[in-house]
Amino acid sequence: DAKTTQPTSMDCAEGRAANLPCNHSTISGNEYVYWYRQIHSQGPQYIIHGLKNNETNEMASLIITEDRKSSTLILPHATLRDTAVYYCIVRVARGYQKVTFGTGTKLQVIP
């Protein structure tokens, strides 16, 4: 059973912010939210993660709702190189578990 649900696809204009939603309504108190992206058929790459506070790094920002049932990944200024499939997963800190990725969101950045 998928623990997260994401829209199948989204478009974003180059230079604009891309906001990718993720629903994780059954998240447990000790589970973190992680985001990865996969460009073409390469191995997925880590972007950002968080528990309950908003997080920002050099790649993106992560906004987690107060009830932790959903989150949004924000790419502040999307470029053509951000065209990829984005996966949202939940995982406990110690990582001793199955990890379900689901089908992700295909983000197309349009010139």
CB of 68 to another protein, least distance (A): 13
Residues in region 49-88 near another protein by CB under 8 A = 49-51, 87
Residue 20, interface with another protein (CB under 8 A)?
no
Report the Cα 10 to chain-centroid distance in Å. Answer: 13
| Beta-bridge partner residues of 56 | 61
Closest CB 80 distance from another protein, rounded Å: 22
Residue from 19, 21, 23, 101 binding another protein (CB under 8 A): 101
The strand pairing partners of 64, in sequence order, are 71
Q: Which stretch binds another protein (CB under 8 A): 14-22, 48-56, 62-70, 74-82?
A: 48-56
Residue 98 sits in the site that holds another protein (CB under 8 A): yes
Out of 53, 66, 94, 111, name the contact with another protein by CB under 8 A. 94
Q: How far is the CB of 96 from another protein (least distance, A)?
A: 5
**Are the CB atoms for 20 and 84 separated by under 8 Å?**
no
Cα–Cα distance for residue pair 73/21, rounded to 1 Å: 6
Residues 6+ apart with CB under 8 A from 72: 19, 20, 21, 22, 62, 63
